[in-house]
């Protein structure tokens, strides 16, 4: 990953938007409701910044950012659970949970353990 670690200074809301945006990017059935849900977690300018960030990051870079941010901010189990709950809420906009969404949730659980 590039040496730029500005993402470690993100607010919790920016980080949540990044995690949800990454999960949504991997989800084949990414809906406008999901985008609205993400937008409601941050200010519009932060949303635009996070979307630009997620578009330029590879999967490896995104996962490293998520992992590094969590370690840097020493998330508690409750913090980690709250992040997973928000991602799951976002996925609930679809009629049913897909195998891809379950896989994404599993991946995030591994990162946060």
From the CB of residue 4, how many other CB atoms can be counted at a distance below 10 Å?
A: 7
Distance CA 15, CA 75 (A): 12
Q: Which helix (H) or strand (E) holds 61?
A: helix 59-72
In contact, 21 and 83? CB cutoff 8 Å: no
Q: What pLDDT sits at residue 29?
A: 64
Question: pLDDT for 53-83, tens place per residue?
Answer: 999 999 999 999 999 999 999 989 999 999 9
Q: What pLDDT sits at residue 4?
A: 77
Specify whether the backbone of 74 is left (phi greater than 0), alpha (psi in -120 to 50) or beta: left
Compute the chain's Rg from CA coordinates. Answer: 13
pTM flag (> 0.85): yes
| Percent residues over pLDDT 90 in the chain | 59
What token pair was written down for 69?
Answer: 């941010």
Q: How far apart are the first and last CA of the chain?
A: 21
Residue 5: pLDDT over 70: yes
Residue 2: pLDDT over 70: no
Query: Residue 1 — very low, low, confident or very high, per pLDDT cuts 50/70/90?
Result: very low
| Percent residues over pLDDT 70 in the chain | 94
The residue-averaged pLDDT of 105-111 equals: 93
Q: Which comes out higher in pLDDT, residue 63 or 41?
A: 63
């Amino acid at each position: 990953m590039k040496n730029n670690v500005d993402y470690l200074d993100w607010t919790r809301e920016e980080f949540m938007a990044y995690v949800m945006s990454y999960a949504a990017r991997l989800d084949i059935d990414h809906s406008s409701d999901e985008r609205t849900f993400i937008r409601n977690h941050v200010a519009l300018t932060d949303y635009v910044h996070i979307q630009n960030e997620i578009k330029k990051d590879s999967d490896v870079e995104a996962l490293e950012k998520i992992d590094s941010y969590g370690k840097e901010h020493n998330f508690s189990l409750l913090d980690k659970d709250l992040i997973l709950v928000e991602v799951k809420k976002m996925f609930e906009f679809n009629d049913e949970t897909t195998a891809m969404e379950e896989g994404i949730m599993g991946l995030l659980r591994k990162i946060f353990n």
